Structure 1
Amino acid sequence: MVPSPGWSWSDVDVAVPGPAGRLPGVAMAGFRQRIAGSVDIAMVAHPAITVLFDLTGDIVCDARGRRRRGSFVAGLLPGEVRTGGRRGECLQVRLTPVVAAAVLGASAELTGTVASLDEVWGRDAERVEERLRAAKTWDARFAIAAEAIGRRLESRPVDAEVAQAWRRTLAARGAVRVDGLAGEVGWSRQRLWSRFRAQLGVTPKRAAGLVRFDHAAHLLAAGHTAASVAARSGYADQSHLHREVKAITGTTPTAVATAPWLAIDEVAWPAPSRGRVSG
């Protein structure tokens, strides 16, 4: 669960788009490794669909023992996902499930899986990759990605009620009840449960658990004790936090607190993109 010996995030350049280049429900960051050497990073579960564009042809993804090279898409709760390479340069895009359903048309099908980009994006994937690799600056790459995403954004919109329920879950950091969400959107509990799962790939309760975990993980990474994190994140007690973290990551709160991927989150993914983004 750690990078290769002698490697640290200080060996990586990180680029993020300016405010003008951002789309609602979309967060982007570019990563460039400064020095040669093998990197092996375990990604932490996040309440978003992750699209990783491999810009050097050197990225290897290992999910549940299945290795694949090149650009990939990781759905919600895909289990342990490790990425690595020797001179990696990549553009990582996080799409909220609502946006992913519209852009990829595959939010539900992606839950618990990792797929190659062309499997999900379709025939246009290769052309987008070529344009990204040919671009000379990160700003140009962000613009290309935003354009490609924007063209597909309205093709498969989800129900307005489902989108509203997701936004409320994010805003409340997972501290919501399904009955309350259903009442807010004017649906029955059964209808919200069914439509939410069909369009976003998880039940409202599971989505709330993942959003709550994300909040807790960042508190752990910031140095807060497990007991205080449990209290601040809405868990019944420290044991409840431990069980939930184990179920989502397969590891402990202590291990999550030192996860390398979280060490750079404040730089690559400012707080608004983690819990208060629209979409």
Structure 2
Amino acid sequence: MASREFIRTVPHLNGMVISATGYRTTGQRPALHRGLPSPYLTVIFSLDGPIATGHTPQQATGTDAIRTDIIVGGLHQSPAHVVQPEHEAGIQLAVHPLAARALLGLPAAELTGELVVDGRDVFGGRAAELRERLCGLDRWEDRFDALSVYLRRRAADDRTAGSVRPEVAEAWAWLARHRGAGTIGGLSRHVALSERRLTSLFRAETGLTPKQAARLTRFQHAKTAVVRASAAGAPQDLARIAADCGYYDHSHLVRDFRQYTGASPTRWLAEECRNIQAGAHRPDGE
């Protein structure tokens, strides 16, 4: 009999980690899952075997799949395809991109261009030791605590990769406050930089332009609204969700769904129904 468990917490890391989700599934039919773009970096410690991912379903299930048991993923603009085996377990972190320097030792922009990076190449050898310790613990609470201690120590280490420019930090905060719906002109005036200069600094730090980050943030809120309606068994009113989330119209919401999920909202919901009902898509940081 199949079982699915998702346990979520918000680590006490001064907002650097938005959420930590422990997951364990057994007895499920092997399938492909779409790892969606989001405004957060992804870090996964597998407590089972290596995770196979790819830019396409063919790569994820083929001999050239990217396989690692510690995943670090940057901000991306299209879905990652992830193999879901019969049984799997792990902890997935949603990391604020401006915390990348403190927690990962590099700006988020350095992760751009790669679907995922082996966590050992980012965290170093101690990440493997941490993973082994996580595998040996029985309770999710203890695993979350061990991971939080490890990350706090990294953040406190003096060998961090510099600091984030205040204009970029304020620009990200402004986009978050406006839920991705503000104009780039308004943003550049707010941080007292030209649009060109702001775009250059923002992309150098995060790997995205402010416009791309705004679209991704807006989509995240729209996806959350779609998931909440589905989990509650309510009918999907995409036109209302589009208006509430700052889209020009329903067709623009569908356009973003197709870009970020590779499917229409209806098709994506049908494919993710089991995960949604099990709590895998509860919103981050809300």
State the distance in 2 between where 1:91 and 1:28 align. Answer: 7
Residue 47 of structure 1 is aligned with which of 21, 24, 39? Answer: 39
Q: Pick closer, same or farther for the CA change 1:103–1:145 going to 2, 3 Å.
A: same
State the distance in 2 between where 1:88 and 1:79 align. Answer: 24
Residue 234 of structure 1 is aligned with which of 237, 246, 259? Answer: 246
State the Cα distance separating 1:39 from its structure 2 match: 4.7
Identity, in percent, stands at 31
Matches within 5 A, 1:97-176: 97-104=97-104, 105-112=106-113, 113-153=115-155, 155-156=160-161, 157-176=163-182
State the distance in 2 between where 1:213 and 1:43 align. Answer: 14
State the Cα distance separating 1:196 from its structure 2 match: 0.7
State the distance in 1 between where 2:247 and 2:195 align. Answer: 23
- Counterpart of 2:232 in structure 1 is none
Unaligned runs of 5+ residues in structure 2 are 230-234
Moved over 4 A (4+): 19-23, 265-272
Supply the AA of the counterpart residue of 1:206: Q
State the Cα distance separating 1:177 from its structure 2 match: 1.7
Q: Pick closer, same or farther for the CA change 1:107–1:226 going to 2, 3 Å.
A: same
- Counterpart of 2:70 in structure 1 is 71
Greater RCO structure (CA 8 Å; 6+ sep): 1
TM-score, scaled relative to structure 1 = 0.83
- Counterpart of 2:194 in structure 1 is 188
Supply the AA of the counterpart residue of 1:79: S
Contact 1:53 1:71 in 2 (8 A): yes
Contact 1:50 1:93 in 2 (8 A): yes
Contact 1:173 1:212 in 2 (8 A): yes
State the distance in 1 between where 2:131 and 2:283 align. Answer: 28
- Comparing 247-256 with 46-55, greater Cα deviation is found at 247-256
Q: Pick closer, same or farther for the CA change 1:268–1:32 going to 2, 3 Å.
A: same
Contact 1:58 1:88 in 2 (8 A): no
- Comparing 255-264 with 25-34, greater Cα deviation is found at 255-264
Contact 1:47 1:214 in 2 (8 A): yes
The answer to whether the aligner puts 1:24 opposite 2:15 as a matched pair is: yes
Contact 1:173 1:211 in 2 (8 A): yes
Supply the AA of the counterpart residue of 1:72: I
- Counterpart of 1:62 in structure 2 is 54
Q: Let me know the Cα RMSD of the aligned residues.
A: 2.7
Length, aligned pairs only:
265
State the Cα distance separating 1:88 from its structure 2 match: 0.7
* Alpha-carbon displacement from aligned partner over 1:94-125 (angstroms, at most 9, x marks no partner): 10211124322141122352222112223332
Contact 2:47 2:91 in 1 (8 A): yes
Contact 2:78 2:259 in 1 (8 A): no
Matches within 5 A, 1:81-92: 81=80, 82-92=82-92
- Comparing 85-94 with 246-255, greater Cα deviation is found at 246-255
Unaligned runs of 5+ residues in structure 1 are 1-5, 275-279
Q: Pick closer, same or farther for the CA change 1:102–1:179 going to 2, 3 Å.
A: farther
* Alpha-carbon displacement from aligned partner over 1:113-172 (angstroms, at most 9, x marks no partner): 222211222333212212211222211111121122222336233112211211221221
TM-score, scaled relative to structure 2 = 0.81
State the distance in 2 between where 1:211 and 1:265 align. Answer: 23
State the Cα distance separating 1:203 from its structure 2 match: 0.4
Contact 2:175 2:181 in 1 (8 A): yes
State the Cα distance separating 1:271 from its structure 2 match: 4.5
Residue 248 of structure 1 is aligned with which of 260, 266, 274? Answer: 260
Contact 1:60 1:67 in 2 (8 A): yes
Q: Pick closer, same or farther for the CA change 1:176–1:255 going to 2, 3 Å.
A: same
* Alpha-carbon displacement from aligned partner over 1:174-225 (angstroms, at most 9, x marks no partner): 0122222222223332222111100011001100000111111122232432
